Amino acid sequence: TASNQVNIVEVGPRDGLQNEKGVIPVSVKAELISRLGRAGVQIIEAGSFVSPKWVPQMAGTAEVLAKAERFPGVRYPVLVPNQKGLDAVTSLLAQNPASPPLTDEISIFTAATDAFTRANLNTTTAESLERLAPVTRAALDQGLRVRGYVSVVIACPYSGPVDYARVRDVAKALVDMGCYEVSLGDTVGMGTPAQVSEMLEEVKKSVPVENLAGHFHDTYGTAVSNVLTALEHGIRTIDASIGGLGGCPYSPGATGNVATEDVLYALQGSKYHVAGTKDGTIDLEQMVDIGWWISEQLGRESTSRAGRAIRAR
Ligand code: HMG
Ligand code: MG
């Protein structure tokens, strides 16, 4: 049924690659996005328009977007931290008129603690919301969709345990600003299912669950469990990363997002149906191959547990 349809936001090309040490060629990033589209992924976070001084790996996102093979019905959101980022998206779209456009969606981001917002955006949470409001308005005015992220919803690498009332208030502020959805990020990847449950109960007091997404890093091995916990709470959009790539440069020690392959595997035969463009879903075998391919490009093995097991069959 529609209510048990799960949407995956594949964040590998952005969250997955932003933390890499070496330089990843534009051609590899574009190829990753092309392959994900071919495997049936419907929402692919393609990159960021952030300061290259802060996150050098995301330089070249405009070229990546222009180069990647695009598939009908697939969306390619990009991260934008400020007006300058939105201006870059606007000029990319003006220079590359295409139907459908190269992207129709931006993601803005802030955090539940001032310490993390300071590390990630060089400002406080309240100030970041003030700065993001006009950016969101301008994006909506030009017909873009706007998604919001709240980082450190469980624990902060700088200030410790997080007050879930703060998560709730920041999520609500993003929805009030015009975000159609707010993704709740366990940036550190420390959250347990019990903590995620408690956090979601609090956030749901102010934000309808239809407007929420779950974004779990897997540092302590709880990410798949946290995904299932979020689904049981009524969340139907899950951020995941091919091959389990990822990490935030401003969250030291945090590992990648929950692996997309692991989510696909865990939901097989369940009451949930993962939406996608390949026979109505996302092809697990193809995703396993992509997870290995991109990991090999980065000089390592896939960290997806399902990806490793399926490869070893
Ligand atoms: P700042 O230093 O206060 O800003 O940084 P500034 O305005 O002084 O700009 C510094 C320099 O960057 C200037 O260049 C600007 O022009 C340039 P200079 O004059 O020195 O040559 N600049 C830009 N260049 C390109 N695109 C832009 C842009 N903006 C400024 N948009 C700033 C403030 C917001 C820019 C900076 O803090 C920044 O870029 N932060 C982004 C950090 C980031 O991308 N973090 C990772 C993504 S968030 C994440 O991973 C969490 C998530 O996955 C969820 C979760 O897991 O929790 C989403
Ligand atoms: Mg993240």
Q: What is the pLDDT of residue 6?
A: 98
Whole-angstrom distance, CA of residue 271 vs CA of residue 252: 36
Percentage of residues of the chain with pLDDT beyond 90: 94
Q: What is the pLDDT of residue 1?
A: 45
Whole-angstrom distance, CA of residue 171 vs CA of residue 183: 8
Q: Kindly report the number of other CB atoms within 10 A of residue 206's CB atom.
A: 15
Whole-angstrom distance, CA of residue 238 vs CA of residue 147: 13
pLDDT one-digit tens code per residue, 166-218? 999 999 999 999 999 999 999 999 999 999 999 999 999 999 999 999 999 99
Contacts of 187 by beta carbon, 8 Å cutoff, 6+ apart? 111, 116, 151, 152, 153, 157, 217, 248, 251, 254
Q: How far is the CA of 85 from the centre of ligand 1 (A)?
A: 9
Residue 93 — left, alpha, or beta (φ > 0 → left; ψ -120 to 50 → alpha)? Answer: alpha
Among this protein's residues, is 156 annotated catalytic?
A: no
Q: Is the CB of 54 under 6 A from ligand 1?
A: yes
Q: Is the CB of 120 under 6 A from ligand 1?
A: yes
Output the pTM of the full model: 0.97
The one catalytic residue among 150, 248, 282, 290: 248
The mean pLDDT of 289-300, rounded to a whole number, is 96
Answer whether residue 2 shows pLDDT above 80: no
Query: Of all atoms in ligand 1, which is nearest to the CA of residue 247?
Result: 50
Q: What is the pLDDT of residue 246?
A: 84
Answer whether residue 37 shows pLDDT above 70: yes
Q: Is the CB of 48 under 6 A from ligand 1?
A: yes
Q: Is the CB of 51 under 6 A from ligand 1?
A: yes
Which bound ligand lies closest to the C-alpha atom of 107? 1
Element (H, E) at 32: helix 26-38
pLDDT one-digit tens code per residue, 212-238? 999 999 999 999 999 999 999 999 999
Percentage of residues of the chain with pLDDT beyond 70: 99
Query: Of all atoms in ligand 1, which is nearest to the CA of residue 107?
Result: 58
**Ligand 1: residue whose CA is nearest its atom 15:** 51
Q: What is the pLDDT of residue 252?
A: 83
Q: How far is the CA of 81 from the centre of ligand 1 (A)?
A: 6
CB-CB contact of 208 with 237 (8 Å): no
Mean model confidence pLDDT for the chain: 96
The mean pLDDT of 308-312, rounded to a whole number, is 97
Answer whether residue 302 shows pLDDT above 70: yes
At 237, phi and psi to the nearest 5? -125, 125
Q: Which of 17, 18, 54, 239 to mutate to test the pocket of ligand 1 (most atoms within 8 A of CB)?
A: 54
